[in-house]
Structure 1
């Protein structure tokens, strides 16, 4: 049996609330452990993916503050491997896995961040992961690395940092392919461009995964937006070069004085969610237009989460944390689409 014809095991690094995990599981793969630093994300991750029905019923009897303390106890992970700081993990303690998934921190790389690249403490954690691989015996190394980051990774520091990434992968024995994908092309009305990198360990069976194509057409996208807006269609009106927001348009509240389409008004989809999820829509009440901020639930939907998963996260976290978690995550449907290719 060829390697890609079976279900694979994976480790979930920089796990957040588990967007990688959910997408991989929907594609038929099995998680053997996760690593996440932020305790609030760990609360959501544990509630969304690990607790039993009996544990959930017990937690619901507690106040939210009591749940937050309780769910961080080891028993709620039900035997799954976990580490909170990848910098303190040793290679010998890692469970064996076919795939390592990681969207390493982007704050030092993104356009909205410092743009200092791998010189930053957070984004340099990429090399912490590859350091663990260097410490593994050849037969223990993952066959596939499944990596995600912001599109700016390709160009930060004039592209030299991306070249460093490719050199590092080459030196630890992996051939790489990569592609920029946009969430809007996978049936979700959010424009979110991310670069995905697949590394294949040389000497093991492999097939080409990238490039892949999205699932959306323009008419399908309009249908999705209509469902999301409960009847409001997004459209653009232009006057003297300015973008005018009408009922159904999306608005970036981060830049209230911006008059450009790029800076403020969204047509056909929501702008990229950030950790503040400071996005709004123009709606009408009694025929009077008003601006309404997206709810945390809507932000989760824009990352491909079903409401039952949002409810489990909301059981243990505040709205502020839920906004942050949605903005920090990967889009489940994009992960699922790529992960499905591992079977081909």
Structure 2
């Protein structure tokens, strides 16, 4: 009998796709956005008897059906560095406490065995780490041992640089053992910045977190200290800000060409693979380039013929670049065609973009922006999706289909959602979603640990 799950803040159902591919059965979901509801039902269908709610704040704990797992990518607007920094006190991100209200309102017998949450990496440091400590302690109060890790989508077979923190709660006495660390190509294990006794060591939050337990207070009750912000080049003692991680008792290969009847993730591969890479998606993608962060798109630059772009200081008679309609320079063994220069606030004043590179189109007139070009990988998808790609002839914006691919959704499922939604909504849904590849790996790791525990108990 498959294990059951309920997907809160479901969006298009990225958690559902990943966990169902691993063997779970989704018996209900909650989503307030009517356009995301359209895509969810187009992709997953309307299951007879499945539970649904649109507004989580109106859900009574007893209304939620018993299940093995609750998943939730709760709103990040007040946590993201692009937001106003209100954290868990903001009107959107404070909906995290609605998850806790529902869980705490369930009897001990009906509580889910696992809770899996997702949010932006900035959750670790906003409010000097106090908000993240609140998340961990509140889950611990609710009866869960907690672990977490920052995972980057680019390490799991999709070409998108998307760092997200994943939090897994195991119901105390009923849940499985640790599932982290999950290591991708560039994932970091637990990183100690200083030595010492447990509870006194300082850890880098970019690595894997120490599992939260329910031990007594004092030194033994702390899992460790985490560096919220620091500069490795300077003296750590002067620049380090530390947040205590507390316990409950001491707080104060995806194949997009497969037919629709095929399993869309290659189950023989722990880390599914597809080709090429992209940046992080935002919510909307309106036409026209402006100086507002949320609505930039279109062509940023026309490709130009560039003479030895990697040697800007070299003395040269005549111009080093030509306009788009002019004949290009005579090719030599040192020249590299198919390169454009993207202005940015660096010492060189530009970054080189080659074929397939992602280019940040936001605020094109800015004098302070850096990192506009991502080599062979997309920037993090956001809801406004203000990024393009150089195809050798021009810089063009990403299409909705490409954005959904960057979230690990196969084409045939995208086409189902495309039939019921506009491009604007499709961009928004991609930026708000989770990467299916990452969710699938977490789901498989969780089931592997659970199966191992059941075997050991026999």
Residue 211 (structure 1) shift: 1.0
Distance 1:43 1:268 in 2: 33
Superposed CA deviations along residues 46-74 of structure 1, whole A, max 9, x for unmatched, are 00001xxxxxxxxxxxxxxxxxxxxxxxx
What SS class does the counterpart of residue 381 from structure 2 fall into? Answer: coil
Residue 166 (structure 1) shift: 1.0
The answer on whether the counterparts of 2:6 and 2:29 sit within 8 Å (CA) in structure 1 is: yes
The answer on whether the counterparts of 1:282 and 1:291 sit within 8 Å (CA) in structure 2 is: yes
Structure 1's consecutive aligned runs of 4 or more residues displaced over 4 angstroms after TM superposition are 220-223, 237-240, 258-262
2:88 to 102, 105, 118: 118
The answer on whether the counterparts of 2:158 and 2:273 sit within 8 Å (CA) in structure 1 is: no
1:63 is aligned to none
Superposed CA deviations along residues 76-96 of structure 1, whole A, max 9, x for unmatched, are 453321100000001111111
Which ranges of structure 1 fall in alignment gaps of 5 or more residues?
1-5, 51-75, 228-236
Are 1:197 and 2:167 an aligned pair? yes
1:40 is aligned to 35
1:73 is aligned to none
Residue 208 (structure 1) shift: 1.2
Distance 1:252 1:326 in 2: 17
Are 1:31 and 2:26 an aligned pair? yes
Relative to 1, partners in 2 of residues 1:156 and 1:214: Cα closer, same or farther, differing over 3 Å?
same
Q: How does 1:1-344 map to 2 (within 5 A)?
A: 7-50=2-45, 76-214=46-184, 224-225=275-276, 239=312, 241=348, 242-257=350-365, 262-284=370-392, 289-344=393-448
Q: Across the two proteins, how many residue pairs are aligned to each other?
A: 299
The answer on whether the counterparts of 1:243 and 1:260 sit within 8 Å (CA) in structure 2 is: no
Residue 164 (structure 1) shift: 0.7
Residue 205 (structure 1) shift: 4.2
Residue 247 (structure 1) shift: 3.0
Superposed CA deviations along residues 149-194 of structure 1, whole A, max 9, x for unmatched, are 0000000010000011111011111110000000000011100000
What SS class does the counterpart of residue 391 from structure 2 fall into? Answer: strand
Distance 2:147 2:30 in 1: 25
Which ranges of structure 2 fall in alignment gaps of 5 or more residues?
188-270, 279-308, 313-346, 449-458
The answer on whether the counterparts of 2:272 and 2:437 sit within 8 Å (CA) in structure 1 is: no
The answer on whether the counterparts of 1:186 and 1:216 sit within 8 Å (CA) in structure 2 is: no
Larger Rg: 2
2:286 is aligned to none
The answer on whether the counterparts of 1:147 and 1:198 sit within 8 Å (CA) in structure 2 is: yes
TM-score (structure 2 length as normaliser)? 0.62
Residue 222 (structure 1) shift: 11
TM-score (structure 1 length as normaliser)? 0.82
The answer on whether the counterparts of 1:183 and 1:334 sit within 8 Å (CA) in structure 2 is: yes
